[in-house]
């Protein structure tokens, strides 16, 4: 399945940056900024032949639709001639022909013209449909194609590119930026063509009917074009900066939601909110500047237009005084002057109406630059390429030949330094060494995530660069230290390992990985959804699924990076045996800190400083007493001697294995984020969407009320200028009936000055309107995004567990919905008020000067309102459905991009692309339907204007003819002027309906979020008990606690748990994976509250404490630590967000965690950025930073969940000693699979099936000979 890239001519070239630098003194203080936009035609690079056909039809419709207004001017001229012939204009033979009183009645003479107006109305309805529908449809098709191509391009990029490009920015490009591109070539583009057509038509009529007057009126137009070009260039720069700022904000949101438990554990919600707001402030600054620039542009255009009116009006008068010697009549009659004047007015008005599209186009071109730059990027390692050799057979010989390497994001740090090693086919090789020495880098080079800077990596003598990337990865099975599962079923996750695998093979792989029993204990067995990143499973369960996924593909090469680190002792020996069996006949490379897992390796390579220090078998290296020997001795020293002996001389007695213990846990206690697609959050009913008043949105704009008031007044003034202009214009026309030339001249000068005054007023009102609403609108957008983010951070963890609130959906909501609200706020309010002011004041004047005609027009208004309401209602329905599906698509994109390494390992780029594409197809089909509805309704409302005018002129002719109600030609001219300008206002207001529909849907959704009552407010905690440290006794009591996770109420995790922790005690929890150990720590942190029973600290229920104070007393180190895309200093200081942590405190904590020396050797030291999720650090380095983060807050209670599992042997002893020191004077709760780390605990609790089954010290439990003793026997 692929998206055709059938481009328009010359559109296939990669985009080029406009290297012309522009100085923006006013905005950037002489700072030179590159204008980063694509060319106009490049916007349409994804237009297919069908799209081109649609756009041609839409263009023809828009051109023809634009011609209806100039044609109406011709009809209007004939109507004026009709009134002239009736003798109601001027009876001066010096200027005009005196009509005969015996002519046919006026109504008969205008009958044909009235019919022409009706025909033009019908034509407008049909042409408007073609214009709107055939521009909206291809815009939807192209936007879909752009999204698909962008997502495809992102997925095929090399891993080095992802090291420097944040995943949150990429997802923002897929949503917000593509929407901006779509706006640039959607119905707004059709409107621009229509306005240009009207402009051309008006100019043509002007030149044909009176070229002299036309030239004079247009003499000032170059000023308009010059100003438009200048201001557009500035707007493009501001737009580019604005988009980048929003992308950075999106990256922060994605990072925070992914690590939500870490954020809450360290009371970081308010800090993250400030970080997010700082990015929004950048975007707001550029948005306000852009709005002000648009105001300056529009104001300047109108001042020039009104200047042209004044000049043209004066010159038209001079031409009317000249007599044509051939005819003896004036060179320019009043009819001719009016035709030229109105044609040029309509033309210039249309040009003004097209003006706002310049900003939309600039925004779209700026967004397209960033999007197309990603699409056009050629990855250095292209997973989509079919190039490269695909050998028929793989033996499995691997060789590193003098390999040098450093990561692209950190080019100043050399990881591998002339590495040489050989792995023979079928052998098992182990890589050992201190954390960060390059072991895992070798694994990544074998998979071709990166290429060496120098030297070669070879497979069976072939340089990996010469092999097809997809083929290469299909030969490799990988199990990483931190396995990533995808938000689908267990079966599908295992199936990721190999396409077209049978269910029997999946089950066999699960059995080999010791996963089958726990899978079968789940309610849906292999069809159980694992949640986002495998959040519904414990660490050990996830690891076993990952092992099954690797084994199912029956790989020629097996890469194991601490593959059993997350398993409990019971499972480890069985899985290790399965891996030992799986290694037979395969080339296996093991990266291990736990040296007991590699004793039987054929060759062990000991790494130091990026090269092999020594190699050989375990026995050989032990006899050398070199680096490996030191590593082993260090590890032995960190264990109990008896356990150590069993580790170094392992024997597995299958006869003494424990009976298979069923894991009846349907829901894991531990994850970074829960997400179950098949279950909705229980305990609270699905909330119905409320219909929110737009006044609620305006209330959020309360702090900017004075800007809004000024903006409203300016908008109303802008709107009032047109009716005022109509009065002056109609009176100015009527002065041609004045016989005294001197009085004519005085009046002409007066009215010309008034036109200039109108121009100045319009300039000021436009500037104020755009800048004031720009300020209020950008603040509203920022406030909505900020409030949305803040409200999300207030929610309880269970809310994040819901599939409706996955990371992708939440990020999409923030990026799309807040921006959509601008469709009914900000500049849109100004435009609406201006149009309402124009129409309202115009109607009032029409009622005053010709009430009968005005009432006739008003009779048509209900049809316009009904059409607008129906259009809004239908579009709002479609918009709501679009939003939901686009959020689903956003979830898929974020999941794939955030876990791109796992996607690449299993060649699943096409899988996720197909999933994403299918999600896009649903809103696309809905958009096609909404396009047709929008087009029909817009055509209907636009045509009513012509029918109303036809009725008004027919009635006017009758009233003048019968001399009723005192109606004169001057009255009719005034009413007509109000009608024609008011009609344009209705058209502009109707064009805002689609934006309003999207805004209404977004408002309903956002306010539903704002008004949600959270069960545990994680953002702010003002209530509850707080104690001084001296008054706090850290005794913990768990009393009859029952608990199940809210989105899986049928699966009880804790079933009446009772246990006691005394102050200063070191407590350990052990048990099978998924037994409820980590659930206890989550309840202590109050991520959840018990369903029954209670947990007490200092004999006070945890619920009664101030939440932030309570969490500040805990220091937590999890098995899979999450670091933020910040510096090392900032990550460690994150441990205490209640104050400013000094560098000295950070260094002290780092020293305790044995990470200071490593950090000090980095070129930037503590200012080194760790990358997204800490990817620039090894697993061991990340863990030590996480330990330092926990220690820097000097906690009263330490929660250690396998805190040393990722450390190498050399570091583990020192860090364990540091943790032992840190535990002194503190209450400490340890969760461990490695029982050697908890032997010295005061009390060890054995958990099974949600209750304590054994408790006591190590010796006591060993003497009992129960479950713990059997687990210990597996060591």
Do the domain assignments include residue 1044?
no
Banded model confidence at residue 104, pLDDT cuts 50, 70, 90: very low
**Among 19-23, 534-538, 902-906, 1216-1220, the least confident range:** 19-23
Banded model confidence at residue 341, pLDDT cuts 50, 70, 90: confident
If we measure between CA atoms, which residue out of 1050, 905, 1053, 156 comes closest to residue 486?
905
Banded model confidence at residue 782, pLDDT cuts 50, 70, 90: confident
**pLDDT tens profile 730-759:** 777 667 666 677 887 888 888 889 989 988
Q: Which residue among 609, 624, 645 closes a domain?
A: 609
Q: Exposed, middle or buried by CB within 10 Å (0-12, 13-18, 19+), for 1139? A: exposed
- More reliable by pLDDT, 1108 or 979: 1108
Rg over CA atoms, the chain: 38
Do the domain assignments include residue 1026?
no
Banded model confidence at residue 855, pLDDT cuts 50, 70, 90: confident
**595 and 711 share a domain?**
no
Secondary structure of residue 398 in the 3-state scheme:
strand
**32 and 154 share a domain?**
yes
Do the domain assignments include residue 620?
no
Secondary structure of residue 264 in the 3-state scheme:
helix
The dihedral region occupied by 1098, where left means phi > 0, alpha psi between -120 and 50, and beta the remainder, is left
Banded model confidence at residue 22, pLDDT cuts 50, 70, 90: very low
**pLDDT tens profile 141-185:** 898 899 999 999 988 888 888 877 776 678 778 877 888 888 888
**Among 663-667, 1016-1020, 1042-1046, the least confident range:** 663-667
User: Which pLDDT score is estimated for 919?
Assistant: 83
Read off the CATH number of the domain in which 256 is found.
Answer: 1.20.1560.10
Q: Which residue among 979, 1010, 1041 closes a domain?
A: 1010
Residues 6+ apart with CB under 8 A from 925: none
Pairing relation of β-strands 454-459 and 398-405? antiparallel
Do the domain assignments include residue 1102?
no
Compute the average pLDDT of residues 940-947: 83
Q: Which stretches of 400-557 are DSSP H helices? A: 439-446, 469-474, 490-495, 503-512, 516-520, 539-551
Secondary structure of residue 1025 in the 3-state scheme:
strand
Direct distance between the N- and C-terminal alpha carbons of the chain, in angstroms, rounded to an integer: 51
**pLDDT tens profile 264-312:** 999 999 999 999 999 899 888 888 888 888 888 888 888 888 888 788 8
**325 and 469 share a domain?**
no
Banded model confidence at residue 85, pLDDT cuts 50, 70, 90: low
> Cα 300–302–307 angle (5° rounding)?
100
Do the domain assignments include residue 6?
no
pTM: 0.64
Proportion of the chain in helix, strand, coil states, percent, rounded to 5? 60, 10, 30
CA 1132 to chain centre: 28
**579 and 699 share a domain?**
no
**438 and 337 share a domain?**
no
Residue 1156 has pLDDT above 60, yes or no: yes
**429 and 348 share a domain?**
no
Rounded-to-integer distance, Cα 159 and Cα 165, Å: 10
User: Which pLDDT score is estimated for 338?
Assistant: 76
Do the domain assignments include residue 994?
yes
User: Which pLDDT score is estimated for 18?
Assistant: 42
User: Which pLDDT score is estimated for 656?
Assistant: 31
If we measure between CA atoms, which residue out of 867, 869, 917 comes closest to residue 892?
917
Is-contact 796 242, C-beta < 8 A?
A: no
Q: Which stretches of 795-898 are DSSP H helices? A: 797-801, 807-812, 818-820, 827-858, 861-898
**573 and 701 share a domain?**
no
User: Which pLDDT score is estimated for 93?
Assistant: 39
User: Which pLDDT score is estimated for 27?
Assistant: 40
- More reliable by pLDDT, 586 or 481: 586
**350 and 434 share a domain?**
no
User: Which pLDDT score is estimated for 102?
Assistant: 40
> Cα 845–847–852 angle (5° rounding)?
145
Banded model confidence at residue 2, pLDDT cuts 50, 70, 90: very low
**pLDDT tens profile 576-622:** 776 777 777 789 998 877 777 788 888 999 888 888 888 888 888 88
Residue 633 CB neighbours (<10 A): 15
Rounded-to-integer distance, Cα 71 and Cα 660, Å: 88
**769 and 854 share a domain?**
yes
If we measure between CA atoms, which residue out of 1113, 1111, 1185, 1114 comes closest to residue 1150?
1185
Rounded-to-integer distance, Cα 261 and Cα 1121, Å: 11
**pLDDT tens profile 890-902:** 888 888 888 888 8
Specify the DSSP class assigned to residue 220: T
Spatial strand order of the sheet with 1036-1044 comes to 1052-1061, 1036-1044, 1092-1097, 1100-1101
> Cα 657–658–660 angle (5° rounding)?
115
Secondary structure of residue 294 in the 3-state scheme:
helix
Residue 447 has pLDDT above 50, yes or no: yes
Pairing relation of β-strands 1066-1070 and 1227-1231? parallel
CA distances from 402 to 414, 418, 421, 443, 925 (A): 14, 4, 9, 16, 56
If we measure between CA atoms, which residue out of 504, 197, 588, 181 comes closest to residue 362?
181
Is-contact 263 256, C-beta < 8 A?
A: yes
Cα dihedral across residues 924, 929, 931, 932: positive or negative: positive
Q: Exposed, middle or buried by CB within 10 Å (0-12, 13-18, 19+), for 753? A: exposed
Residue 688 has pLDDT above 70, yes or no: no
Pairing relation of β-strands 1066-1070 and 1243-1248? parallel
Secondary structure of residue 2 in the 3-state scheme:
coil
User: Structurally, how many domains does the chain consist of?
Assistant: 3
**697 and 783 share a domain?**
yes
Rounded-to-integer distance, Cα 159 and Cα 1011, Å: 41
Is-contact 551 501, C-beta < 8 A?
A: no
**772 and 895 share a domain?**
yes
Contacts 24+ apart (CB under 8 A), 798-801: 798/681, 798/683, 798/1015, 798/1045, 798/1046, 798/1047, 798/1088, 799/681, 799/1014, 800/257, 800/260, 800/673, 800/674, 801/531, 801/535, 801/674, 801/675, 801/676, 801/681, 801/1045, 801/1046, 801/1047
DSSP class per residue in 200-216 = HHHHHHHHHHHHHHHHH
Give strand pairing partners of 300.
none
**582 and 699 share a domain?**
no
- Per the document, the length of the chain is 1275
Cα dihedral across residues 442, 444, 447, 453: positive or negative: negative
Do the domain assignments include residue 61?
yes
Residues 6+ apart with CB under 8 A from 516: 507, 510
Do the domain assignments include residue 1088?
no
**pLDDT tens profile 207-223:** 998 888 888 888 887 88
If we measure between CA atoms, which residue out of 348, 311, 345 comes closest to residue 228?
348
User: Which pLDDT score is estimated for 560?
Assistant: 87
Q: What's the chain's average pLDDT? A: 79
User: Which pLDDT score is estimated for 122?
Assistant: 93
Is-contact 873 879, C-beta < 8 A?
A: no
Q: Return the top range by mean pLDDT from 698-712, 871-885, 940-954, 1033-1047.
A: 1033-1047
If we measure between CA atoms, which residue out of 1186, 1113, 1196, 1106 comes closest to residue 1153?
1186
DSSP class per residue in 335-389 = HHHHHHHHHHHHHHHHHHHHHHHHHHHHHHHHHHHHHHHHHH---SS-TT---SB
Residue 1071: phi and psi, rounded to 5, are 155, 175
Rounded-to-integer distance, Cα 287 and Cα 845, Å: 37
The CA-based dihedral angle spanning residues 1164, 1170, 1176, 1177, taken in that order and rounded to the nearest 10 degrees: 90
Q: Which residue among 609, 630, 657 closes a domain?
A: 609
Compute the average pLDDT of residues 933-937: 80
Spatial strand order of the sheet with 416-423 comes to 416-423, 398-405, 454-459, 462-463
Secondary structure of residue 1161 in the 3-state scheme:
coil
Residue 627 has pLDDT above 70, yes or no: yes
DSSP class per residue in 957-994 = HHHHHHT-TT--HHHHHHHHHHHHHHHHHHHHHHHTHH
**pLDDT tens profile 418-435:** 889 999 988 889 998 877
Read off the CATH number of the domain in which 1182 is found.
Answer: 3.40.50.300
Secondary structure of residue 587 in the 3-state scheme:
strand
Secondary structure of residue 1247 in the 3-state scheme:
strand
Percent of all residues in the chain with a pLDDT value above 70, rounded to a whole number: 82
What is the span of the domain harbouring residue 1148? 1116-1227
């Amino acid at each position: 399945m692929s998206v055709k890239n059938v481009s328009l001519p010359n559109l296939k070239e990669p985009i080029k940056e406009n290297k012309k630098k522009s100085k923006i003194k006013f905005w950037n203080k002489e700072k030179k900024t590159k204008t980063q936009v694509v060319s106009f035609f490049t916007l349409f690079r994804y237009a297919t032949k069908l799209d081109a056909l649609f756009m041609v039809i839409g263009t023809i419709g828009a051109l023809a639709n634009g011609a209806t207004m100039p044609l109406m001017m011709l009809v209007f001229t004939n109507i004026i001639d009709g009134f002239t012939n009736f003798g109601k204009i001027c009876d001066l033979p010096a200027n005009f022909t005196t009509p005969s009183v015996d002519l046919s009645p006026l109504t008969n003479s205008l009958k044909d013209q009235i019919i022409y107006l009706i025909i033009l109305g019908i034509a407008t309805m049909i042409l408007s449909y073609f214009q709107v529908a055939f521009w909206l449809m291809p815009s939807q098709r192209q936007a879909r194609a752009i999204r698909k191509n962008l997502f495809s391009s992102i997925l095929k990029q090399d891993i080095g590119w992802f090291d420097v490009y944040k995943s949150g920015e990429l997802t923002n490009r897929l949503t917000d930026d593509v929407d901006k591109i779509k706006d640039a070539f959607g119905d707004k583009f059709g409107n621009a063509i229509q306005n240009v057509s009207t402009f051309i038509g008006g100019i043509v009529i002007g030149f044909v009917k009176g070229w002299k007057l036309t030239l004079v009126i247009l003499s000032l137009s170059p000023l308009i074009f010059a100003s438009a070009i200048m201001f557009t260039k500035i707007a493009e720069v501001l737009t580019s900066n604005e988009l980048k700022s929003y992308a950075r904000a999106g990256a922060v949101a994605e990072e925070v939601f992914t690590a939500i438990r870490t954020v809450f554990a360290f009371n970081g919600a308010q800090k993250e909110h400030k970080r997010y707001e700082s990015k929004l402030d950048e975007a707001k600054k550029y948005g306000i500047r852009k709005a002000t620039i648009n105001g300056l542009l529009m104001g300047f255009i109108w001042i020039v237009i009104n200047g042209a009116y004044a000049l043209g009006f004066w010159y038209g008068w001079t031409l009317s005084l000249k007599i044509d010697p051939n005819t003896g009549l004036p060179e320019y009659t009043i009819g001719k002057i009016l035709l030229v004047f109105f044609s040029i007015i309509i033309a210039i008005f249309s040009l003004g109406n097209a003006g706002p599209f310049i900003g939309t186009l600039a925004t779209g071109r700026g967004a397209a630059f960033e999007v197309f730059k990603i699409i056009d990027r050629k990855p250095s390692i292209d997973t989509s390429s079919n190039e490269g050799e695909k050998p028929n057979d793989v033996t499995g010989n691997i060789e590193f030949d003098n390999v040098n390497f450093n990561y692209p994001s950190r080019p100043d740090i050399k990881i591998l330094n002339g590495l040489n090693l050989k792995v023979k086919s079928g052998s098992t090789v182990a890589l050992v060494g201190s954390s960060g020495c390059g072991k895992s880098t070798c694994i990544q080079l074998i998979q071709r995530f990166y290429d060496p800077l120098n030297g070669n990596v070879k497979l069976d003598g072939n340089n990996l660069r010469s092999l097809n990337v997809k083929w290469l990865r299909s030969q490799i099975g990988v199990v990483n230290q931190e396995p990533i599962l995808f938000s689908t079923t267990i079966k599908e996750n295992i199936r990721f390992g190999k396409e077209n695998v049978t269910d029997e093979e999946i089950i066999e792989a699960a059995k080999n990985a010791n996963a089958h029993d726990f899978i079968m204990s789940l309610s849906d067995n292999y069809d159980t959804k694992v949640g986002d990143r495998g959040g519904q499973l414990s660490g050990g369960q996830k690891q076993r699924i990952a092992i099954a996924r690797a084994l199912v593909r029956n790989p020629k090469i097996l890469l194991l990076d601490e593959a059993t680190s997350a398993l409990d002792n019971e499972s480890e020996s069985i899985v290790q045996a399965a891996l030992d069996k799986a290694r037979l006949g395969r080339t296996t490379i093991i990266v291990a800190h736990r040296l007991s897992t590699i004793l039987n390796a054929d060759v062990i390579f000991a790494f130091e400083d990026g090269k092999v220090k020594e190699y050989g078998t375990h026995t050989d290296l032990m006899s050398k007493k070199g680096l490996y020997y030191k590593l082993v001795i260090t590890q032995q020293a960190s264990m109990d001697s008896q356990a150590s002996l069993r580790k170094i001389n392992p024997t597995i007695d299958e006869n003494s294995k424990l009976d298979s213990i069923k894991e009846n846990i349907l829901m894991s206690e531990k994850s970074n984020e829960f997400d179950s697609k098949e279950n909705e959050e229980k305990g609270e009913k699905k909330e119905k969407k409320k219909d929110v008043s737009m006044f609620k949105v305006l209330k959020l704009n309360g702090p900017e009320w004075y800007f809004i008031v000024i903006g409203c007044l300016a908008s109303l003034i802008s709107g009032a200028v047109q009716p005022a202009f109509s009065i002056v214009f109609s009176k100015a026309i009527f002065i041609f009936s004045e016989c005294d030339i001197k009085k004519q001249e005085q009046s002409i000068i007066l009215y010309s000055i008034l036109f200039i005054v109108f121009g100045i007023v319009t300039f000021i009102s436009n500037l104020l309107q755009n800048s004031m609403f720009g300020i209020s609108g950008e603040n509203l957008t920022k406030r909505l995004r900020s409030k949305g983010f803040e409200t999300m951070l207030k929610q309880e963890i269970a809310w994040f567990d819901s599939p409706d609130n996955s990371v992708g959906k939440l990020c999409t909501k923030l990026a799309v919905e807040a921006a959509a609200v601008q469709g009914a706020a900000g500049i849109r309010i100004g435009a609406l008020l201006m149009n309402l002011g124009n129409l309202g004041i115009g109607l009032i004047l029409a009622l005053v000067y010709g009430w009968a005609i005005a009432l006739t027009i008003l009779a048509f208004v209900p049809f316009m309102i009904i059409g607008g309401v129906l259009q809004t209602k239908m579009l709002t329905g479609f918009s709501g459905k679009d939003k939901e599906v686009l959020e689903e698509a956003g979830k898929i994109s974020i999941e794939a991009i955030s876990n791109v390494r796992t996607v690449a390992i299993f060649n699943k780029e096409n899988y996720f692309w197909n999933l994403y594409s299918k999600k896009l197809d649903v809103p696309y089909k809905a958009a096609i339907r909404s396009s047709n509805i929008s087009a029909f309704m817009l055509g209907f409302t636009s045509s009513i204007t012509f029918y109303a005018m036809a009725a008004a002129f027919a009635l006017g002719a009758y009233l003048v003819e019968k001399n009723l109600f005192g109606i004169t030609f001057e009255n009719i001219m005034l009413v007509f002027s109000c009608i024609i300008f008011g009609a344009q206002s209705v058209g502009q207001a109707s064009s805002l309906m689609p934006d309003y529909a999207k805004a209404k849907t977004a408002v309903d959704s956002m306010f539903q979020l704002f008004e949600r009552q959270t069960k545990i407010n994680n953002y702010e905690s003002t209530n509850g008990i707080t104690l001084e440290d001296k008054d706090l006794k850290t005794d913990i009591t768990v009393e009859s606690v029952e608990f199940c996770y809210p989105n899986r109420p049928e699966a009880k995790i804790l079933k009446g748990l009772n246990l006691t922790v005394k102050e200063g005690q070191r407590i350990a929890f052990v048990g099978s994976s998924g037994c409820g150990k980590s659930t206890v720590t989550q309840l202590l942190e109050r991520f959840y509250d018990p369903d029954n029973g209670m947990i007490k600290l200092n004999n006070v229920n945890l619920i009664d404490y101030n939440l932030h104070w309570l969490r500040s007393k805990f220091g937590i180190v999890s098995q899979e630590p999450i670091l933020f895309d910040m510096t090392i200093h900032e990550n460690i200081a994150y441990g205490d967000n209640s104050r400013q942590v000094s560098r000295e405190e950070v260094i002290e904590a780092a020293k305790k965690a044995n990470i200071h020396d490593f950090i000090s050797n980095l070129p930037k030291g503590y200012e080194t950025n760790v990358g997204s999720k800490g990817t620039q650090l090894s697993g061991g380095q990340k863990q030590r930073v996480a330990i330092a983060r926990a220690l820097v807050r000097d906690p009263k209670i330490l929660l250690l969940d396998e805190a040393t599992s990722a450390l190498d042997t050399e570091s583990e002893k020192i860090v364990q000693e540091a943790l032992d020191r840190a535990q002194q004077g503190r209450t400490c709760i340890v969760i461990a699979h490695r029982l050697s780390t908890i032997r010295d605990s005061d009390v060890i609790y054995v958990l099974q099936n949600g209750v304590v089954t054994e408790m006591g010290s190590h010796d006591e439990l060993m003497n009992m000979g129960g479950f713990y003793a059997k687990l210990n026997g597996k060591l």
